[in-house]
Amino acid sequence: DTAVSQTPKYLVTQMGNDKSIKCEQNLGHDTMYWYKQDSKKFLKIMFSYNNKELIINETVPNRFSPKSPDKAHLNLHINSLELGDSAVYFCASSRTSGLEGEQFFGPGTRLTVL
């Protein structure tokens, strides 16, 4: 069984389009995250939700909007896509938002903006 799943795995789109990436976890975790990994493999947190409430919102353009319909899902919607948005986006989850909540990562969504 896949613990943290993301769809789609690959996303190729034109500049200016709006797209969404979906994430689901079946681990019963309370906290979910979105990370961006750039072409140099640098991994940076974007958002974190705990029990459907936003708890971390790093400096991310407001074109990015996370939505958590329930504890098991955290989707990422991106408006007006730009070339610089091309990256791999990882969803992750953890049992708690506390210090040592091991984060389980999904397989990633490679977004390419043309």
Partner 1 sequence: QQQVKQSPQSLIVQKGGISIINCAYENTAFDYFPWYQQFPGKGPALLIAIRPDVSEKKEGRFTISFNKSAKQFSLHIMDSQPGDSATYFCAASMRGSQGNLIFGKGTKLSVKP
Give the nearest distance from C-beta 55 to partner 1 in angstroms: 5
Q: How far, in Å, CA of 53 to CA of 75, rounded?
A: 13
Rule CB under 8 A: choose which of 28, 41, 69, 83 binds partner 1.
41
Residue partners of 53: CB distance under 8 A and separation at least 6: 68
To which H or E segment does residue 13 belong? strand 10-13
- Euclidean distance between the first and the last CA atom of the chain, given in angstroms as a whole number: 34
Site membership for partner 1, residue 44 (CB under 8 A): yes
Q: How far apart are CA 97 and CA 21, in angstroms?
A: 22
Residue 86 Cβ, how far from partner 1 at the closest point, in Å?
17
Judged by CB under 8 A, the residue of 50, 74, 87, 113 near partner 1 is 50
What is the DSSP pairing of strand 10-13 with strand 109-113? parallel
- Asked if 48 is part of the footprint of partner 1 (rule: CB under 8 A), the reply reads yes
Q: Which of 7, 13, 22, 45 touches partner 1 (CB under 8 A)?
A: 45
In the range 51-110, which residues lie near partner 1 by CB under 8 A? 55-56, 90, 92, 94, 96-108
Helix, strand or coil for residue 10?
strand
Task: Catalog residues that contact partner 1 under the rule CB under 8 A.
Answer: 4, 31, 33, 40-45, 48, 50, 55-56, 90, 92, 94, 96-108
